[in-house]
Each structure stands twice: as C-alpha cells, then as structure tokens.
Amino acid sequence: MTPQESADARVFSPGDIPGAYAFCGRVAGRQYGNFPVASRLVSRRLRPHMDALCAFVVVVRDFATAREFEGVRRERLLDWRRQLGGGQAAQPVLLALGETLRTLRLPVELCDEMIGAALQDIEKTRYATYEELQDYCRRCANPGGRLVLMMHGYRDEGLFRFCDALCTGLRLAGFWQDLSSDLSRDRIYIPEEDFRAHGYSEADLRMGVCNERFRELMKFQVNRARALLEQARPLPGKLRWPLSWEARVTWYGGREVLRQIRKLGFDTMARRPVLQRWDWLPLILRTVLQP
C-alpha cells in the first residue's frame, strides 16, 4: 500500500461501501498493470468485485514484502485476518471485499489462505522440497484464481484443477523472473533438493555464479513451470467470453515470460525479463485468432 493509499484509508468513513469500492479501484490499478486478468473486459456488474479482490491481493502482498511495513508485517496481516473473519471491517479494502464475499457467496476461507501464505512468506525463506513450494503456491496463488472463476459462476472441480495449474505455473514463472530481487530480500524459492541434484549451491547463487550447472538448474525450474501451464491449456476453451479471452491471454503471458527466460540463457540474475507493451500485441493477436 502506497503512502497516499494509507493516508486515504485512514480518513475513510466506516460503512461507506461505494467509497470502499472506489478506493479498491485505485489500489487495484497497480495489479491490473501487471496482469490482464481484470482488464476492461470485465463486466460492469463484476468490476467492483474484481477491484475488491485485486486490491486485497495487492495490499496483502505489500504487507509481506514492501519496505514500509518492515517491523509491522505480522501485526498488519494478523489484524486483517481478524477483521476478515469477524465481519467488522474498519478498512476500505476489507469492507468492500466482505461485501463482495456476501453478495456473490464466495468462501472467506480462500482469502484467509492468502493471508496465511503471506504470513509464511515473512518467516519461511527457504524450501526444502518442491512439494513444500507447491503447498505455498496452493495457498498464495491458487485461491485468487478460484475466486475469479467463482465470481463468474463456475464451481466445477475440474475447472478448479486447470485453474490451479495455471496459477501455480504463473507463480513459479514469477519466482524465476524475480530471482535476483527475491535474493536481495533473502528469499530463495528454488527447492534445496534441486540445488543438490544439480551440484549448485546457495553460496554460488549469492556470488552470481552463472555456469552450466546454474543454467541446467534454472532450465529444470522453467520446464517445470511450463509443464504446469501445459496442464492448464484446456481452461480457456471451457470458459465463456470474456473470461475465456482473459484466461488465454494470461496463459500466453506466462509462456512468454518463460520464453524470455530461456532466451536469456536462463540467467535472470543478470537481467530480469519483463513483458513490454509491444510484447503483448502478438499475444493478443494469437488470442483473437485462437479458435
């Protein structure tokens, strides 16, 4: 949450639901800039609800990672968990989100899982196995995807499985994209078992050693994320427009991030791959032309 957003939240009038949704729209703009999941194609009816969810994701992420919350991260997250579970929200994002959960009959447990994952991210900075990392993704990434499906009227477990694969694949792609910045925060998401299997160490990573072992290690991580995206490939075809279009663009975006990592020789320590505006044009064209 930016300083201006924090100031706006402090002068917020409790009970002002329209004002709460307007506040969420401003905060959610930061999320929309990175992902097309909540673009202008979202219906007018669902737009406020999507704003509330995206604002929640943004602020929970900020509590866990932004420098201005150093020293109060756990306190803020536990306070939000209490407000979310108690139904007495004093903060605009939680007021709007609570209204969305009630109106659309969405499970609050999925939001609680995201807070739990953020609390874990404060304390757990290493992962021994891929199974541990998967469990983290299951709670930090997958709930948001499921809530988006539910907002659009989908409650099918088969669709949820495809959506989980998409969200986990995107989260892994983000980890490998942000390898350097995460390391600067003393967070390493490459499983320790994979370090050992490839004969590469955390000490090597900290020294910026980019040898063949490192490239093979990162290639393994990229291929794992790509395999998850392949599992999610059928999802867009099972959804109605415009969510089908959104899901397909998101899927192509994840694939493009992985392609750029491969193009860099898997060395995201030296340079972070970023999707520029011109990168999205061919992805959108492929989406439009996709049957």
Per residue in 32-65, pLDDT tens?
A: 544 444 456 678 899 999 999 999 999 999 999 8
Per residue in 74-87, pLDDT tens?
A: 999 999 999 987 76
pLDDT at 275: 63
Beta carbons of 165 and 129 less than 8 angstroms apart: no
pLDDT at 29: 75
**Residue holding tokens 């290690």?**
217
**Residue holding tokens 């659309």?**
104
pTM above 0.85, yes or no: yes
Beta carbons of 143 and 114 less than 8 angstroms apart: yes
pLDDT at residue 254 is higher than 50: yes
Average pLDDT, the chain: 88
pLDDT at residue 99 is higher than 90: yes
Tell me the C-alpha distance between 134 and 223, whole Å. 15
Residue type, 201: S
Per-domain boundaries in the chain = 1-123, 126-291
Q: How far is CA 203 from CA 123, 161, 199, in A?
A: 21, 37, 12
Higher pLDDT, 291 or 212: 212
Q: How far is CA 141 from CA 109, 145, 167, in A?
A: 14, 7, 6
The domain defined by 126-291 folds into Farnesyl Diphosphate Synthase (1.10.600)
Beta carbons of 108 and 94 less than 8 angstroms apart: no
Tell me the C-alpha distance between 216 and 278, whole Å. 30
Residue type, 16: D
Residue 200 has what DSSP assignment?
-
pLDDT at 285: 53
Whole-number percent of the chain with pLDDT over 90: 71
pLDDT at residue 10 is higher than 90: no
Arithmetic mean of pLDDT, 137-146: 96
Render 255-291 in DSSP notation, one character per residue.
Answer: HHHHHHHHHTTT-TTT------HHHHHHHHHHHHH--
Tell me the C-alpha distance between 203 and 184, whole Å. 13
Beta carbons of 118 and 64 less than 8 angstroms apart: yes
pLDDT at 64: 92
Domain covering 1-123: architecture: Orthogonal Bundle (1.10)
pLDDT at residue 137 is higher than 80: yes
pLDDT at 274: 74
pLDDT at 155: 96
Instruction: Count H helices and E strands in the chain, helices first.
Output: 15, 0
Per residue in 150-192, pLDDT tens?
A: 999 999 999 999 999 999 999 999 999 999 999 999 999 999 9
pLDDT at 284: 55
pLDDT at 34: 46
Per residue in 183-200, pLDDT tens?
A: 999 999 999 999 999 999
Arithmetic mean of pLDDT, 106-128: 96
